[in-house]
């Protein structure tokens, strides 16, 4: 991610141990996260959707539209996450257009991935 350096030295972190859950499907969400250290998995309905490495962000949909969490994020290795609340998210969008474009790019990639999985399941 291009914006990874914005968060690497962030003062507000959440650290979770391997096997612990950062957030679960259906939880309310008022922030997004950027993985700073470790490895995590995003699952939807128990199905692995994405393996996250440092620089990966998650939880953006809840910050954008105030919806419940759409996925579960679980640490595969001990993890450190930067926390971006709604106020900071909007500030970053206003002040750093590249941040907004990176978020949109990843959301588009994730949407394509969902579409491909759906089409693959229909054709099999």
- Give pLDDT tens digits for 7-54: 766 667 899 999 999 999 999 988 999 999 999 999 999 999 999 999
**pLDDT per position as a tens digit, 56-81:** 999 998 898 888 998 999 999 999 99
Confidence label for 1 from pLDDT (cuts 50, 70 and 90): very low
**pLDDT per position as a tens digit, 75-114:** 999 999 999 989 988 988 998 888 888 889 988 998 898 8
Question: Got the DSSP string for the chain?
Answer: -TTGGGTTT-S-EEEE-TT-EEE-TT---SEEEEEEES-EEEEETTEEEEEE-TT-EE-HHHHHH-PPP-SEEEESS-EEEEEEEHHHHHHHHHH-HHHHHHHHHHHHHHHHHHHHHHHHHHH-
Q: For the chain, what is the domain count?
A: 1
| Dist CA 119 CA 124 (whole Å) | 9
User: Which range marks the domain in which residue 57 is found?
Assistant: 4-123
Tokens read off for 46: 């128990």
Q: For the domain that residue 114 is a member of, what is the CATH number?
A: 2.60.120.10
């Amino acid at each position: 991610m291009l914006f990874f350096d914005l968060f690497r030295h962030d003062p507000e972190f959440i650290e979770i141990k391997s096997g612990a859950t950062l957030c679960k499907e259906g939880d309310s969400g008022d922030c997004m996260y950027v993985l700073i250290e470790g490895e995590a998995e995003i699952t939807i309905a128990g199905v692995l959707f994405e393996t996250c490495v440092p620089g990966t962000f998650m939880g953006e949909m809840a910050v954008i539209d105030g919806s419940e969490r759409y996925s579960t994020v679980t640490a595969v290795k001990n993890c450190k996450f930067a926390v971006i609340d709604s106020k900071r998210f909007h500030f970053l969008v206003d002040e750093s257009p590249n941040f907004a474009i990176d978020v949109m790019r990843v959301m588009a990639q994730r949407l394509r991935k969902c579409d491909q999985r759906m089409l693959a399941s229909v054709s099999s």
